[in-house]
Each structure stands twice: as structure tokens, then as C-alpha cells.
């Protein structure tokens, strides 16, 4: 029997990074009465992971649910960064419509286009929110035209051109259909979602089908599958089969031990759930993203989105520096291997491969940010290891080498346009379009090889005095563009093992910019600074000033040292060269040469 769930709506919130998705979900949760009157609620309550809170970005998609007039609205908050596009693609399989969020000042951005295209491919209706209308430079009227232009550019049907537009300020918790009308709540948004997003429909008596779109992991119950019931109903302790369209021969029999539905930020245990609901189930050991949980007598797998391929790889290896094993808790190749393969359980865009060496693993992901978040997570968990310079993954077709190309959108003050075009031109970037935005800004769009962007972001920030905004999104594989000049700076390398002294660093700072301070422990072959002349220079930074009857050793205090350059993990990944590694421990990361011994390194160069 076909039924329509009038009491339910499933939506995903999609947008470019920083346009306010997570803040909007916050306001919807607060106004739906999920929290007690006196409950203390953090801002961006959906960003539960430590790194998400620090960086202000969403990495993992999150499920939540609110009630409005007895109708349950399941909401999925999705990431905005291109590196986490794999999360967005598959989450859209769980919902019946999307809320597209666009900043009232910036307008549609590259990621807006990427996620919208995915929604169109699945024929999902869209409610458009023009957010941040309280910004002083907001231009909501113009942004509406830009969004409609984007719909036409992506070949949207006529029904999309009639999509409802809502004006919101997620921060203030207000939404209105009419800009002239002042509101103090989000009722207009709730009403529009209920009236415009279709109810889930399905056959309630048919054999069970649940398509798994997300996997969670918990040490007590193992893997937790999250997905939408496409057909039938599910009960606790029911036996079921796990099947996949790609691997039809592999069929696993499981027993569903618990079923949870979402309410607010919690998972609430239920005895049974019916078609249209988004649920989490346990007892499904060995389940993967894209699998279908089916009725025992009717194993019918559902099709799933093809997840985009990784474009960048980094080699993770066991730390073998002189300081190995002093700071980390997990240091062996077995521990690192287990941790990397565990990450595969929840991250679909990641690939981990064994290499010729038992101590090294090749890890491929969607971009530098994607991989640096994994490195940062492992570091905080107590792992110690080394990583190599990121390299681009090539493809070969008919004997030709193809490389990943990115579309880069840059918003920059007009004074810096020349520097940006010159630098990206050297990195094989081609300018596709240039439009004048408001307030003396211009928007430049380039097509550039992915490897041309490695190491550029730091330079870009310097060139634009920190005012530029750079966004990139994977486009396609194109013909190899030729060699790209690498970094111009050389490395300052420690000549011996010991502790850096102010006296040693004082003479070293004339050669370039230092990365360390007095008292830092160093070893032979460790990179302690950069040299603008482009040569590698060995320096003894541990030398002490000898006492004599003319001067006291204490007059070291008067030496003036320039402040060292503090690099973030992404900056260090961009800085290192082919013959260098980053040693990552829970307390430090150090840049080092692959060959630490000065003489051996000199011979290998010859």
C-alpha cells in the first residue's frame, strides 16, 4: 500500500563554506522548542568535533530533527568545503528536498554551484534562503537574480525558476518572505519548508529497503548505519540482509539490534520505524556506505551515487628521526596501519594503499584540507608518524597523461589583481572570466592544475595583504600542462644534534627566516628555517659563546632575535619539497630532510 507521510519532511541544508548553514540549524533548533528555557546552548551546536569548532567549518554531515506544528522535520547539515564534497553527494540520497543558503553579500560561489548541481541531478526541489540580510553591505535583490542565473546556467527545469525565496538572518533567528516586513522569528521558513518540500512517499507493506548513506562508529556497539527507509518497515531484532548493487554476490545476514530516530541532537530508541523515516541502526557489523538493508526474502539493492575520486596523495610512514618514540603513544607501523584503515569505515572519499615498504602507506584524498584534518585528528589521538609532500594523482588514457584540474574563484581588491594573475599564470592557470564586484573588489575565475595550487595559498595571502578570498573546486581531468616552477626558497638545515642557543640562532638569522626559538631541541638534518636565495645551507645553531677574560658569557641576553615564523600544518605541507618530510607528534611537528646525514645527502645530490 502506497502511503504519504504528512507528518514528516526530510531536508538537507546546502551552501558554500561560511554562508551560515550551521548557524541556521542552530536557530531552527532553538525556535522549535528542542532545548529547555534555561538550557545553556553553545553556538554552532552541530559542529561537535574539536577541529570543526576551532576552524569554524563543518567536516562531517550531521543529522538532527525538529517539530513544527506536529510535523517532524529531519535536517541534515552538510559541509561546505570542496574537500568534503563526498559527504554532500551521498547525504542528498536521504532527503526529499534542499534548503539552498546563499550569502546576501557574496552571492552564489563555486561550492554553491557544485552542491546545487548534485541536487538537480537527483531532482530535489529547492527552497532558497538569502542569508545574512543584516550585513551592512547586503544586496539581497541582486543576489536573487544571480541565483536565478545560476539555475539557468545549470539547465534547471522551469519548476526550479519558481522556487520560493526567503530572506533570513540565521544569527538573529529571523526569516521573512517579504523584505519590507519585519519579523522576529523563523515561522516563514518553517511554513515554506512544509508547504514546498514534498512529503516522503512509499510502499509501507513492501519488503524492507534501507539505503545506508552515512556510517558512524562506536566502540560499544560497533558500526552504526544511518539512512532512509525507502520501502516497508523495520523492527528491532528483525533479521535482514546487507546487499550492494556493485557487489551482488556478497550477501551478509544480520540481526538489527537497535533502531534510533533523531530528535533534536539526540538519538531516541524506537521499537519500529516506517517508510520515509531517517534512522540509525546497530547490529549491522560489516556494513558500508552505499549498502542496502533488505528483507530476508527479497534482497533488492538500491543504486547509490558514485563518489568522486581522490585527487591528491600523501605518504604516511613510521617516524625514524633521532627523536622517534619520545612524544607519541602509538608509533609502530601496525598501529598507524590500523588507524588509517579504521578511518576508511567512515570516510568514503579516502583511499589507503600498502606500499613496497611495510613502514609506509599511501593515503589519497580530495585535497590538502581533507588530508590535513586526518593528520590533525591522528596527532591529537597520540599518534606519531611522518608525512611526505602532497602529490597529485595522474590518470593515463590512450598513452596520454591527464591531471586533475580545478576551477578557482578569487575575490580580491582591484589593486592586487596584477599580482594574482601573474602568479597563477606562472602556475599554468588560465583566466576564464573577470567581473567587477562591489566595493572595489573584483572576482577572477581561473582553470588551473591541482598541483599548481599546492603551496600557493600562503603566497596568495601575502600578495593580497590578507584581504583576498580563494575558493577551489575540482573540475575534471585534463591534459598535462607541463612543468610548474616549485618554491623559490631554500632550507636552513641544522648541522648537529643538541639544543638551539640564542648565540647560534643570532648568526643564523642573517641567512633567512627562522622557524625555531632558543632552547628548541634540534637534530642533524632538521630544517630550522628558510633561505630566500633558494639554496640549502647547513648551520650550527647549537654553538655557545666561549668565556674569555674580556667578556662574560651572560652578555648573550642582549642578542636581538627576530620572531620565528610559526607555520600551520597546511602551510608546512605546502612548504616542504620532494626531499623533505614533516615529523608529526602529539606535541610538535618538525620539518626534516629525508636523508639526515649531511655527507650522504651531499653524495645523493651528486
pLDDT at 56 over 70: no
All CATH 3.40.50.300 domain ranges in the chain, comma separated: 2-199
pLDDT at 121 over 60: yes
Supply the pLDDT for residue 42.
Answer: 43
Percentage of residues in the chain having pLDDT higher than 70: 87
Q: What average pLDDT score do residues 200-216 get?
A: 80
d(CA 36, CA 208): 37
With CA atoms as reference, report the closest residue to 472 among 111, 165, 222, 59: 111
CATH code, residues 312-392: 3.30.70.870
Phi and psi angles of residue 367, each rounded to the nearest 5 degrees, phi first:
175, 180
With CA atoms as reference, report the closest residue to 114 among 80, 145, 140: 80
Of 99-113, 204-218, 582-596, which has the strongest mean pLDDT?
A: 582-596
Work out the pLDDT band at 41, boundaries 50, 70, 90. very low
Supply the pLDDT for residue 55.
Answer: 43
d(CA 232, CA 251): 20
d(CA 410, CA 434): 10
Work out the pLDDT band at 148, boundaries 50, 70, 90. confident
All CATH 3.30.70.870 domain ranges in the chain, comma separated: 312-392
d(CA 169, CA 186): 9
All CATH 2.40.50.250 domain ranges in the chain, comma separated: 490-566
Supply the pLDDT for residue 206.
Answer: 78
d(CA 457, CA 408): 12
Q: 578, exposed or middle or buried, with CB in 10 Å at 0-12, 13-18, 19+?
A: exposed
All CATH 2.40.30.10 domain ranges in the chain, comma separated: 202-295
CA 349 from chain centre, in angstroms, equals 11
C-alpha cell at 276: 520515509
Q: Which long-range contacts (CB under 8 A, 24 or more apart) does 44-47 make?
A: 45/265, 46/22, 46/77, 46/265, 47/22
Mean pLDDT, the chain, integer: 79
Supply the pLDDT for residue 122.
Answer: 80
Supply the pLDDT for residue 58.
Answer: 40
Q: What is the pLDDT of residues 233-271, one digit of tens each?
A: 888 887 777 787 777 777 777 787 888 887 766 778 888
Work out the pLDDT band at 18, boundaries 50, 70, 90. low
Grid look-up 525507502 returns: 230
d(CA 225, CA 239): 15
Work out the pLDDT band at 330, boundaries 50, 70, 90. confident
d(CA 256, CA 602): 62
Any binding-site annotation on 14? Answer: no
Work out the pLDDT band at 39, boundaries 50, 70, 90. very low
Supply the pLDDT for residue 40.
Answer: 42
The CATH fold assigned to 402-479 is Alpha-Beta Plaits (3.30.70)
pLDDT at 417 over 70: yes
d(CA 107, CA 555): 59
Any binding-site annotation on 286? Answer: no
Grid look-up 556493485 returns: 246
Supply the pLDDT for residue 553.
Answer: 54
The CATH fold assigned to 490-566 is OB fold (Dihydrolipoamide Acetyltransferase, E2P) (2.40.50)
Which region, left, alpha or beta, applies to residue 472 given φ > 0 means left and ψ of -120 to 50 means alpha?
A: beta
Written out in words, the top-level CATH class of the domain with range 2-199 is alpha beta
Any binding-site annotation on 23? Answer: yes
Q: What is the pLDDT of residues 347-398, one digit of tens each?
A: 777 889 998 888 899 999 877 777 888 888 888 888 999 999 888 888 888 8
Any binding-site annotation on 22? Answer: yes
Write a three-state SS string for 460-510. Answer: HHHHCCCCCEEEEEEEEEEECCCCCCCCCCEEEEECCCEECCHHHHHHHHH
Q: Within 13 Å of residue 94, how many CA atoms lie on the same side as its CB?
A: 32
d(CA 358, CA 355): 7
Judge contact between 390 and 375, C-beta under 8 A: no
Grid look-up 551560515 returns: 20
All CATH 3.30.70.240 domain ranges in the chain, comma separated: 402-479
Supply the pLDDT for residue 36.
Answer: 42
Supply the pLDDT for residue 79.
Answer: 61
Any binding-site annotation on 295? Answer: no
Work out the pLDDT band at 45, boundaries 50, 70, 90. very low
Supply the pLDDT for residue 554.
Answer: 56
Q: Which residue has the higher pLDDT, 458 or 273?
A: 273
Any binding-site annotation on 249? Answer: no
Any binding-site annotation on 18? Answer: yes
Range scoring the smallest mean pLDDT among 136-150, 277-291, 440-454: 277-291
Judge contact between 84 and 370, C-beta under 8 A: yes
Percentage of residues in the chain having pLDDT higher than 90: 4
C-alpha cell at 363: 593515503
The CATH fold assigned to 202-295 is Elongation Factor Tu (Ef-tu); domain 3 (2.40.30)
Q: What is the pLDDT of residues 521-571, one digit of tens each?
A: 999 999 989 888 878 888 888 888 776 666 655 555 567 888 888 888 878
Judge contact between 366 and 309, C-beta under 8 A: no
Any binding-site annotation on 131? Answer: yes
Work out the pLDDT band at 582, boundaries 50, 70, 90. very high
Work out the pLDDT band at 48, boundaries 50, 70, 90. very low
Q: What average pLDDT score do residues 414-440 get?
A: 83
C-alpha cell at 401: 597523461
Supply the pLDDT for residue 16.
Answer: 67
Longest dimension (CA), the chain: 101
Any binding-site annotation on 529? Answer: no
Q: What is the pLDDT of residues 276-286, one digit of tens each?
A: 788 888 877 77
pLDDT at 310 over 60: yes
Amino acid at each position: 500500500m502506497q502511503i504519504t507521510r504528512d507528518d514528516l519532511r526530510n531536508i538537507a541544508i546546502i551552501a558554500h563554506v561560511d554562508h551560515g548553514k550551521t548557524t541556521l540549524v542552530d536557530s531552527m533548533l532553538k525556535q522549535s522548542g528542542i532545548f529547555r528555557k534555561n538550557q545553556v546552548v553553545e553556538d554552532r551546536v552541530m559542529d561537535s568535533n574539536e577541529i570543526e569548532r576551532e576552524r569554524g567549518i563543518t567536516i562531517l554531515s550531521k543529522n538532527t530533527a525538529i517539530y513544527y506544528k506536529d510535523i517532524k522535520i529531519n535536517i541534515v547539515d552538510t559541509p561546505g568545503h570542496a574537500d568534503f564534497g563526498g559527504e554532500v553527494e551521498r547525504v542528498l540520497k536521504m532527503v526529499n528536498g534542499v534548503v539552498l543558503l546563499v550569502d546576501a553579500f557574496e552571492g552564489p560561489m563555486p561550492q554553491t554551484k557544485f552542491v546545487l548541481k548534485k541536487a538537480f541531478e537527483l531532482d530535489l526541489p529547492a527552497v532558497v534562503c538569502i542569508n545574512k540580510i543584516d550585513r551592512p553591505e547586503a544586496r539581497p535583490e541582486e543576489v536573487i537574480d544571480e541565483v536565478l542565473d545560476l539555475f539557468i546556467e545549470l539547465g534547471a527545469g522551469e519548476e526550479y525558476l519558481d522556487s520560493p525565496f526567503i530572506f533570513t538572518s540565521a544569527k538573529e533567528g529571523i526569516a521573512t518572505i517579504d523584505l519590507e516586513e519585519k519579523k522576529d522569528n523563523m515561522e516563514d521558513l518553517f511554513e515554506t519548508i512544509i508547504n514546498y518540500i514534498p512529503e516522503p512517499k512509499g510502499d509501507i507493506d513492501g519488503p524492507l529497503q534501507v539505503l545506508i548513506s552515512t556510517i558512524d562508529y562506536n566502540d560499544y556497539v560497533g558500526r552504526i548505519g544511518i539512512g532512509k527507509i525507502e520501502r516497508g518497515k523495520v523492527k528491532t531484532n528483525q533479521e535482514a540482509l546487507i546487499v550492494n548493487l556493485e557487489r551482488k554476490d556478497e550477501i551478509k545476514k544480520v540481526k538489527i539490534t537497535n533502531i534510533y530516530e533523531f530528535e533534536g541532537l539526540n538519538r531516541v530508541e524506537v521499537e519500529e520505524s516506517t517508510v520515509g523515516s531517517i534512522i540509525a541502526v546497530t547490529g549491522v557489523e560489516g556494513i558500508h556506505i552505499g549498502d542496502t538493508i533488505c528483507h530476508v526474502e527479497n534482497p533488492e539493492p538500491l543504486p547509490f551515487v558514485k563518489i568522486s575520486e581522490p585527487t591528491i596523495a600523501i605518504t604516511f610512514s613510521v617516524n625514524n628521526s633521532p627523536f622517534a618514540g619520545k612524544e607519541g603513544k602509538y608509533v609502530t607501523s601496525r598501529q598507524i596501519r590500523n588507524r588509517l584503515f579504521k578511518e576508511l569505515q567512515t570516510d568514503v572519499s579516502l583511499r589507503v594503499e600498502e606500499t613496497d615498504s611495510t613502514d609506509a602507506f599511501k593515503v589519497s584524498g580530495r585535497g590538502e584540507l581533507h588530508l590535513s584534518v586526518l593528520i590533525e585528528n591522528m596527532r591529537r589521538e597520540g599518534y606519531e608518524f611522518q608525512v611526505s609532500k602532497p602529490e597529485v594523482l595522474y590518470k593515463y588514457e590512450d598513452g596520454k597523461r591527464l591531471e586533475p584540474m580545478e576551477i578557482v574563484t578569487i575575490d580580491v581588491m582591484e589593486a592586487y589583481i596584477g599580482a594574482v594573475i601573474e602568479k597563477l599564470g606562472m602556475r599554468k592557470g588560465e583566466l576564464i572570466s573577470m567581473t567587477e564586484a562591489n566595493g572595489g573588489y573584483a572576482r577572477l575565475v581561473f582553470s588551473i592544475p591541482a598541483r599548481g595550487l599546492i603551496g600557493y595559498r600562503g603566497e596568495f595571502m601575502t600578495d593580497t595583504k590578507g584581504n583576498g578570498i580563494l575558493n577551489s573546486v575540482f573540475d575534471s581531468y585534463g591534459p598535462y600542462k607541463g612543468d610548474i616552477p616549485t618554491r623559490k626558497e631554500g632550507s636552513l638545515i641544522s648541522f648537529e644534534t643538541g639544543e638551539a642557543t640564542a648565540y647560534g640562532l643570532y648568526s643564523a638569522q642573517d641567512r633567512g627566516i627562522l622557524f625555531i626559538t632558543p632552547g628548541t631541541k634540534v637534530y642533524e638534518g632538521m630544517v630550522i628555517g628558510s633561505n630566500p636565495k633558494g639554496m640549502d645551507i647547513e648551520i650550527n645553531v647549537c654553538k655557545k659563546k666561549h668565556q674569555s677574560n674580556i667578556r662574560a658569557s651572560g652578555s648573550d641576553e642582549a642578542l636581538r632575535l627576530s620572531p620565528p615564523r610559526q607555520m600551520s600544518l597546511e602551510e608546512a605541507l605546502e612548504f616542504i619539497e620532494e626531499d623533505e618530510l614533516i615529523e608529526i607528534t602529539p606535541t610538535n611537528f618538525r620539518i626534516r630532510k629525508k636523508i639526515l646525514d649531511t655527507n650522504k645527502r651531499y653524495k645523493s645530490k651528486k
